[in-house]
Amino acid sequence: MSADRPPAEIHHLDLSLTVNGRPVRRRVATTLRLLDFLREELDLTGAKEVCAEGECGACTVLLDGRPVNSCLVLAVECEGAEVVTIEGIDHPVQDALMRTHAVQCGYCFPGMVISAAALLAEEPGLDRQAVREGLAGNICRCTGYAKILDAVELAARRASAHRISGDAGAGGGDDAEAGP
């Protein structure tokens, strides 16, 4: 015979952080995931939950400039941190993804854009293999990846050309098809 157990006590803490450049303060359960904090407390629903175990990258956000799977991070771990979600991103890779017609259902794209932006920030002139490896943690079920790689390569070339020439118009018209 199983006895009813009382529910485990949930503890709360005050949390103070910056999200997309804005200071945020909340009292949160110590068990609350960053993903749920963003989606349910702040209504920032761009980051998606798919696997909930750190495998798919759909929930990726920037935490102090580094991409993390927000399904694996507790909100209280972000005390004093700076979080950027897809809602706070304005990056050339987004335009490149549109130009290469890379987006299908779009479910993976918030995480994909965050990871690509972080990758390009770290090393702007990446080649295709480096992009492929850098985005290995972001799974897309629709596209076969070729156009996503095209887009990130295009953004990388533009960033390089921009850095070398200082010409904002440099690097356009170079979006050749390639296999996965």
Which spans of this chain sit near ligand FES (rule: CB under 6 A)? Answer: 49-52, 54-59, 69, 71, 103-108, 140-143
Nearer to ligand FES, 42 or 107 (CB): 107
Q: What is the C-alpha to C-alpha distance for residues 99 and 97, in angstroms, rounded to an integer?
A: 6
Q: What is the C-alpha to C-alpha distance for residues 61 and 118, in angstroms, rounded to an integer?
A: 10
Residue 78, number of CB atoms within 10 A of its CB: 25
DSSP code, position 62: E
Nearer to ligand FES, 32 or 161 (CB): 32
In this structure, are strands 22-29 and 66-69 parallel, antiparallel, or unpaired? unpaired
- CA-based end-to-end distance of the chain: 57
Nearer to ligand FES, 15 or 47 (CB): 47
CB of 46 to ligand FES, least distance (A): 13
CB of 125 to ligand FES, least distance (A): 25
CB of 169 to ligand FES, least distance (A): 29
